Every structure is written in structure tokens, then in C-alpha cells.
Structure 1
Amino acid sequence: MEASSSGTSETERQPCSICLAPISDEAYLDRCFHSFCYKCIGEWLSFVAAKSSKPLSSFVCPLCKGQNSSIIHGVYGRSFQRHYASKDNIKRPLSDAHMLRLHVYNTNQDIGHNRADVVQYWKKRKYLQKNMWLQNWLRRDIQAILQEDDVDIILCHIYGTIESFMNRQDRGLSGTEEEKRDMFRSLLANAARPFLLEYTEQFVNEVELFISSGLNINAYDKACMKRLGWPKCYEVRNSNLKTSELPKCDGLRNSDLCTSDLSDQDNNSLSLGDDCDPDLVD
């Protein structure tokens, strides 16, 4: 009897407070940390959202009545998935700049600069040079793929993985450039896959294309539109993210980011120039 008790997990001893059965696919709330079956707490959130007359930014725990903003589930090692209260509401439309990036991923088109740029990037060890636009670029692509605004935790995880790898290269990690490239792609894919799922491989390709291009976000977008065959009269404007708005990621130095270079990219959108023929645009 005692052996059976010691072999029983904590989850099995504590049933879900909603269905009263042993917890299945454990999920917990981000503030009070009460745990439930993911299906049960998800249905609770949908019920609360349906009864609310306005969009939710938080919801009450059915057990303690405390306010929470998201459900944490699918925890495996250091990876997890997060379901925000706002996800059960009507999503805010993506900006045109985000739509451009989402179109790239959905069509799976290689629209970055020439693949030769990638080879030269590793061969000439250009990865030792800090890319001041990368964090803002990553934020927008992750937002576009997930169609969510709040991606700070995911951004910190992915950007931190890249920074950690680059810092090791700066200290003279041994290996050929091809081996270093393979390691970079593998580490980046492992960091991104729990969140980006089927978009992971394309995301890794896009990251490599962007950092090897040497372009800022505005110029890279224009290159993408040219490859897509979008009208030349499109003008690209990306969000002017201030340093104070960037997530405070452990090990990251926000002072390394040059926000002044983004000052002419102010509305996070694509717009038509004055000389554009509207008939050229869908």
C-alpha cells in the first residue's frame, strides 16, 4: 500500500478542480499557478470570454478567483506553450508589414538575397559583426507567424540563443565555417520549434538570409517585395521601436541596438506612394 502511494505522482493525487478527474495534459495559470486539465481550463476561458461584453485582457481562476492573463501548457524541459486570454477574442488585424512577412512564410518563397550571400557570410566570418536590426526583425517575424502582439518571452528565448552562439564564436570556438553554420541552424531550430512549429525551417532560412544580407529592415522589405513582384510604388515603413520598449532579456544589452537608424520607419506598415496606380494593387 505504501509502495503504491509513493509511486503515485503529484498530478494523480490532485484531481482537476473543474472535472474532478486526474489531471490530463496539465496546464497552469501564469499568476496563481493553480493547475487544471488543459481542455478544462481552455473551455473555462472560452466560457468567460463568451460572457464578457468586451475583449478580455485577463480572466479569473475558477479556484481562487485571482486574475490571470494566460494559460501555460505543453511544458517540456525549458520549452512550453502559452495561451493568452486575448487569444479567445477577435484578433487585431495585422499591419501590412506583418502581412508581407506572413505571406513570405505561407508561400514558402525564398525571397531574400542571393544564397551566395549566406555562404560568404560564414566564409568571411561576418557573424562576428553585431547586427543592430536583428532583434526588431525577429520580433516582427514572430508576431507575423503567431499573429500575436506579445511575443517577448519567445523573442528573448530565440534572440538569446543567437546571442549565446555568436558570443562563443567571438571567443574563437573551434570548427570549420560549415560546421559552425550547421550548429547555428540546429540551435536556432531547436529554440524556435516549440513555438513556430511547421514554420521553423522557413524561419531559420529567413533569419540566415536577413543577417547575411547586411540590409536594414526597410531595405530588406523592399528586396522582398521586388522578389514577390509587388508594385515598386509600395513604400515600406516599419515600427520605430524605442530601446525602452524592447524586452529586458537576460544577457542582452539593449544599448547594442541602434534605434535611431529606424527613425524613418514609423508606422509598421506598407503604404502606397503618391505615384502608385491603384489598379496595380489587389
Structure 2
Amino acid sequence: MAATSPSAASSSSSGGSGGNPAEGEMAAATAAASAACACPICLESFQDEAYLDTCFHSFCYKCICQWVKIVSSKRVEPLSSVKCPLCKTVNVSIIHGFDGESFERHYINQYPRKRHLSDSHELISQFYSIRDITSNTSNVQQFWKQGKYLRKNIWLHTWLRQEIQALTQDENVDAIIYHIHGVIESFIKRQEKEHASKTTPPEKKRAEFKRLLLDAARPFLLGRTERFVAEVELFLVSHLNIDAYSKLRVQRLKESTSHVSREQDVLPQDRSLEDHYLYLLGDETDCNGEI
């Protein structure tokens, strides 16, 4: 049986044109606010609110886990990712139990490698899910124009370790760090020799640095390589220690997630929970029956 919404009840009790317009607007606003705080799957208030890690759409943890289970049942092989039921963006994990300082992460594949990494690594990994990052362009230009890249960064090796551990979800990254850090040091040593002559424009030096770093990191970081290279440059430009830079990134993360809109499909109110899942699956299955 279809549930009667607050706005519908208000409209019928007010007798149509005889109602108070202000009360009608208030009822509509209340209904809109309630919808914004409702899980788009069960249409109830959030219970253990959970977020998908790329698009940040939110659901009840139990509801989105059930969604993953239904999608998984239509595949022969285990899932390694799942499309959001609202925007179809591919996500690899579900984040829930967030209390302002820490959170739990449920990976779609159900069989993640054994992890002994800290909450800080999880926050770093989450940060790399943000599509757009902001940076002070003038600071970057000055960094290369004024030769600030020649300054030794005593925190770089340790910073690279925590970044790569977070991105690979593996503690043993010594070989990767040795390779990437070695490429950066070799580049700086060459620039020290060429700095006096100043024959190479700063733009070309920056482009060479990014190209070398991309080539060095891509075999290990795959799709996150370009973002990693951008973060390496921003860390070097900031010339902050690891703790200070981490605080700066947390602020960037907060600013980014605060602008994420929760655009949720409007579902008919008379659907059962099972029907909602089937409705959301919709065009999730292509002509070959694959998700």
C-alpha cells in the first residue's frame, strides 16, 4: 500500500484552494528536506549511512550491500567494482561508520588483501578519489622559475612511502619507492649541473620532470599515476613537512566533499523494497546480460 506523504496529507486536509499558501509551502519544504535525508533505495531515514568511494552517493549500509549482492548474483565471476545505482559511476568500496575522525571501508570484492595499514592511509586513499584538485598556480610557476626544486626535501622519502602504501594497499613498497625516489634524485642532480647555464626554460624542466615520474610510477599505480604525479609536485612546491601537508589535504578533502550534491532519483512511493532494487538495476544490464 502506498504511503501518504506529509505534503499530500496537508493538501487534502486543507481542502485545496481553501488552504493557507504559506502552510503549503512549508509542507513542501519539509517534504523536500525529508527526501534529501532518505536512502534512495528504501526511501527511509538513513540507518548507518554509507557512501560509495568515487561518486559519494549515500545509502543505508544494509541497502547498498544488498544492492551489491543482487548485482553480484548476475555475474559469473566475483565483482571487483560496482556501478552506483544512481549515477552509474564505478566504485570499488563502500565507506561507512564515519564518526568525524575514522571510518570503515567495505571492499566490493569481499576478499581484499590483508591490510595492516592505518586510518591515515585510508584517508590518503580516499583523497585520491576526488576528481578535481586545486592548487596555487603562481606558487607552482615560482617553484620552477626560481629553481626551488633544487632544495633538498628531507621528508620526500617518507612521504612517498605512505602515499604508495595507501595507493597499493600494501606495506612492502620498498622496491617501488627506491625506483621512484631514484628517478626524482637523478632529475635534480642533472638540473644542478645545468642550473648555472640556464639554457632550459622552466616549463620544459617541469614537463620533463612530470614525464619521467609518470613513466616511473605508471607500472605500479596504473590509473592513479597522473594524480600521484600531481600530488608529488604539490608536496614539493608546498615545502611543508608531512603533518602540515596532511592537514592541508584534509582541508581540501572537506572542501571538495562539501560541494558534492546528493542527486537522487525520484522513485514511485508505492514500490516494494525488492521493486526498488529492480528499478535501480534498470539499464545496468546490457544486451549481453553483463553488468
Band the TM-score falls in, shorter-chain normalisation: 0.3 to 0.5
Question: Greater RCO between the two (CA within 8 Å, min separation 6)?
Answer: 2
| Higher share in strand | 1
State the TM-score, normalizing by the size of structure 2: 0.46
| Structure with larger Rg | 2
